[in-house]
Amino acid sequence: MSLEAAGFWGLALVLLASGLAVVLSKNLFHSVLYLAVALVATAGVFLLLQAEFLAAVQVLLYAGGVVTIVVFAIVVTERLVGERLAQTNRGVFTGGLVSLAVLVWIVVFIAGAKLPAAAPPLTGDLTQAIGRDLLTRFVLPFELLAVLFLAGLLGALFFARKEE
């Protein structure tokens, strides 16, 4: 087994374990920490695919920003409600059955698909291609996402302000 394959399977194991820990943990803060581990492991997979820019964005935006926002939301929610929130696991059996059905469907789909043996290697600068696409083909969704983030920030500021 090559070093790259060992790294992939190690990261896959970390992703699987942390994903299960996110779902099965009874403490919300622990779930967020496990989510951060999963997001950093995803960045590791991007590094194995030689997509350094995507790995950096994954760490900065998701592992840093999203985890911080989720922790902030938990703290604000606990402050508004006035008590510590407990994570409930209602419908675990139903969720497990649905997840198993989706997994079986994915495996059957992939087994029946005619996939090429390997993707052609990327040529050129990936960062430049992403930037060009964001500001040409995907400029409207990019701007709408910026407005959505601004609305979320304003909503968080509204709920976090002190009552007078």
Domain boundaries defined on the chain: 1-87, 124-164
Instruction: Please identify which residue in the block is written with the tokens 């492991």.
Output: 41
C-alpha distances in Å from residue 1, one per residue of 5, 6, 8: 6, 7, 11
Give me the mean pLDDT over the 90-116 stretch: 87
Statement: the pTM of the whole predicted model exceeds 0.75: no
CA distance 97 to 83: 33
For the chain, give the number of residues.
164
Q: Which listed CATH number (3.40.50.720, 1.20.120.1200, 2.60.120.10, 1.10.630.10) goes with 1-87?
A: 1.20.120.1200
* pLDDT tens, position by position, 65-86: 888 888 887 777 766 666 665 6
Instruction: Please identify which residue in the block is written with the tokens 């374990």.
Output: 17
CA distance 144 to 134: 12
Give me the mean pLDDT over the 46-70 stretch: 88
